[in-house]
Chain A
Amino acid sequence: MARRTRPTLVRAYAPIVVAAAILALVPLRYHDSRTMMGVVITGVLFAAYAIGFNVIFGSTGQLFLCVGALAGLGGYTSGILTDRTGAPIVLSMLAGTAMATVVGALLSWIAVSRSLGVIFTGIVTLAFSLAFQNLLLGRRDLTGGETGLTIDAGDDTVLGDQVWPYYLFLALVVIYLVVYRALQRSRMGWAFRALRDDEIAAELAGVDVKRYRVIAGAVGAAMIGFAGALYANTEGFISPSTFAFGNVDVRVIVMLAFGGIGSLLGPVVGAAAFTILDEWLVSFNEYYLIIYGAIIVALFLFLPGGVVPTLQSLTKRRRRPARGTVAARDA
């Protein structure tokens, strides 16, 4: 595989280019509608969250039920710093990202060193999520409690616009996808796959399972934290419900599971599908939740592996017999 670097390199990164090109066209249709731009920005933001979650859960099987809390850590740290001390946005965003990274690595380290299973990691991180939510509601002096926090940093810059933030988030998603793919193709990617397939075998083969899990936890948390910080500064307003478990984690899990856990474009496909679905369902008003629930049930009953892996295996199956027949004819 390493001999023909260029074709594999193109094949590895081409999906990202295609996805970016398609997503870049979205504002052409919605640029004059403030509400619709808000909707698609949230969609891209969730794609970014889902990629971060995919690094943690998809690559190393750690069920982090604190995506919202990590994003909130990034968002609130950055927002409070900008608001209180007048620190430059870039600096405050880096501080927020650093906070999320440290907490993510710490949670991951706890889970790994106590060898907690999927469910137990889930519950510990869920406890962290709920505690963080209570902290946001409790420390009114810092966070503004339920009423939220207004950050007036972006109004007079390009961030006050509607179309620019979209491209900012799109760039973020592209960077995250490139990082994800680069991770997959590096030594670390081999380690991730090995430890996901069979943890004990990987450990015996000399893969430092603990180290790679903590790294994945830190990298994913950094992605989520930075996305949260960027959102806080472009939107200019955050409240505890912006980062609530029910509003972020549940959606991210559903999106990723729909798109395909552990696949490159799964998070983006899932985020796009559920953003469209959400918009479509708004017109149903009171039936909204019922239809939403029914669609989730139906999707996972018939597509349990996710869209992207299902499509991949379909195309692969079509390719393989073709090769087989050629070989048979040659013989």
Chain B
Amino acid sequence: MKAVILDGIVLGLQFGLLGVGLTLVYGLAGVLNLAYGQIAVLGAIVVALRMDAGMPAFFAALVGLAVAGVIGLLLDQTLMRPVYRRRGEPRVLLGLLLMLGVAFIIDGVLEWRYPIESLSLRIGGDPVEIIGVRMRTGSLLASAIALATGAVLAVFFRYAVAGKAIRSVIQDEEGARLCGVNPARARSLVFLLSGVLAALVAVTRSMTGPVTVTAGIDFTTLALIVAVVGGLGSVTGAFLAGLVLGIVNTVSAFYIGTYVTTIILLAAAAVTIVLRPTGLLGAGRT
């Protein structure tokens, strides 16, 4: 049982990290980034290609994160411009459809150029014993990165000026503007951050299993579910939701198994939303 819970936490941290990048962009820019998973996979494939070229894994990962971040920034600077000029439902819909188009384009490029490429990082070393459970180093490293990222984000949003500015825009764009915060710059920063986070998830996921070219849509749907269950716009909420869903997933996989596991996971997500329509830690804006 201990092992199952620990596995759930490892998985949950990954889920949480996955949800964060999506939740921030929605909370701040009102855009549901349906190309999120594709950006993650693109980052992973860049890492794999750099490593094929002989670059050490760490530096290759940095290149991958940078490329994904720049793509996020580019999307913000170009395609999302007309979206920002709208309000309410038309904004959500246009953002969603444009990002869907981007998702197709990235998928198309990847499947055309690198149909069989995949990223799997093997982390060496013997399994480490934690409270009597032997854990693989890959899972531990992935969890450590997720935890560290979560901590850095928490500190950033609480203490850094830029972080506070971003939170103020999420809470009240007009009010933030009146206080001298530039929402456009906050948005660019968040899009950059979201791209980096997406690639980071793909890299940590590849420590426990291969990330293939076609994994984009799975990343996106999972990120959507985690972000919504956690409450759109809430970083802590995304991690909390990730942990809950991760533990639900491994526990039901262990005791029930087969396809029912996924159904239980989805049902848990749906029930949470229905019970708390703003998400676990949502601000109440829909």
Contact of B129 with A by CB under 8 A? no
Contact of A138 with B by CB under 8 A? yes
Contact of B55 with A by CB under 8 A? no
Contact of B97 with A by CB under 8 A? yes
Contact of A200 with B by CB under 8 A? no
Contact of B252 with A by CB under 8 A? no
Are B286's CB and A130's CB within 8 A? no
Q: Could you say which of B111, B225, B266 contacts A289, with CB atoms under 8 Å apart?
A: B111
Contact of B251 with A by CB under 8 A? no
Q: Which residues of B, 87-125, contact A by the 8 Å Cβ criterion?
A: 89-90, 92-94, 97-98, 100-109, 111-112
Are B286's CB and A293's CB within 8 A? no
Are B112's CB and A254's CB within 8 A? no
Chain A residue at minimum C-beta to C-beta distance from B115:
A286
Are B286's CB and A117's CB within 8 A? yes
Taking chain B's interface residues, is the majority helix, strand, or loop, or is none over half, making it mixed? helix
Q: Which residues of A, 210-266, contact B by the 8 Å Cβ criterion?
A: 245-246, 250, 253-254, 257, 261
Are A110's CB and B97's CB within 8 A? no
Q: Could you say which of B94, B263, B274 contacts A114, with CB atoms under 8 Å apart?
A: B274
Alpha-carbon separation in the docked complex, A246 to B104 (Å): 11
Contact of A13 with B by CB under 8 A? no
Are B277's CB and A123's CB within 8 A? no
Q: Which residues of B, 212-226, contact A by the 8 Å Cβ criterion?
A: 217, 221, 224-225
Q: Could you say which of B92, B102, B232, B273 contacts A297, with CB atoms under 8 Å apart?
A: B102
Q: Contacts of B93 on A, CB cut-off 8 Å?
A: 257, 261
Alpha-carbon separation in the docked complex, A128 to B271 (Å): 11
Binary interface profile of B, 227-260, with partner A (CB < 8 Å = 1, else 0)? 0100010000000000000000000000000111
Given contacts A117-B286, A123-B273, contact A130 B266 (CB under 8 A): yes
Alpha-carbon separation in the docked complex, A300 to B101 (Å): 9
Contact of B148 with A by CB under 8 A? no
Binary interface profile of B, 123-163, with partner A (CB < 8 Å = 1, else 0)? 00000000000000000000000000000000000000000
Contact of A164 with B by CB under 8 A? no
Chain B residue at minimum C-beta to C-beta distance from A289:
B108
Are B262's CB and A130's CB within 8 A? yes
* B209 vs chain A, min Cβ distance (A): 19
Find the residue from B92, B109, B225, B270 having the highest chain A CB count within 10 A: B270
Taking chain A's interface residues, is the majority helix, strand, or loop, or is none over half, making it mixed? helix
Q: Could you say which of A123, A287, A293, A300 contacts B224, with CB atoms under 8 Å apart?
A: A123
Alpha-carbon separation in the docked complex, A261 to B97 (Å): 13
* B253 vs chain A, min Cβ distance (A): 13
Q: Contacts of B26 on A, CB cut-off 8 Å?
A: 119
Chain A residue at minimum C-beta to C-beta distance from B276:
A114
Contact of A201 with B by CB under 8 A? no
Contact of A135 with B by CB under 8 A? yes
Alpha-carbon separation in the docked complex, A144 to B227 (Å): 34
Contact of A288 with B by CB under 8 A? yes
Contact of B82 with A by CB under 8 A? yes
Contact of A296 with B by CB under 8 A? yes
- How many A-B contacts are there with CB distance less than 8 Å? 123
Q: Contacts of A304 on B, CB cut-off 8 Å?
A: 82, 90, 94
Contact of B74 with A by CB under 8 A? no
Given contacts A257-B97, A304-B94, contact A293 B260 (CB under 8 A): no
Are B108's CB and A288's CB within 8 A? yes
Alpha-carbon separation in the docked complex, A116 to B221 (Å): 19
Are B260's CB and A127's CB within 8 A? no
Are B260's CB and A138's CB within 8 A? yes
Contact of A190 with B by CB under 8 A? no
Q: Contacts of A116 on B, CB cut-off 8 Å?
A: 273-274, 277, 286
Nearest 3 CB-CB pairings of A with B: A117-B286, A289-B108, A138-B259
Which residues of B does A touch, CB under 8 Å? 26, 32, 79, 82, 89-90, 92-94, 97-98, 100-109, 111-112, 217, 221, 224-225, 228, 232, 258-260, 262-263, 266-267, 269-270, 273-274, 277, 286
Question: Would you list 19 pairs from A and B whose C-beta atoms are within 8 A, ordered by A residue?
Answer: A123-B269, A124-B273, A127-B269, A130-B221, A131-B263, A138-B263, A245-B221, A246-B217, A254-B100, A261-B93, A286-B112, A290-B105, A290-B112, A294-B101, A295-B101, A297-B98, A300-B94, A300-B97, A300-B101
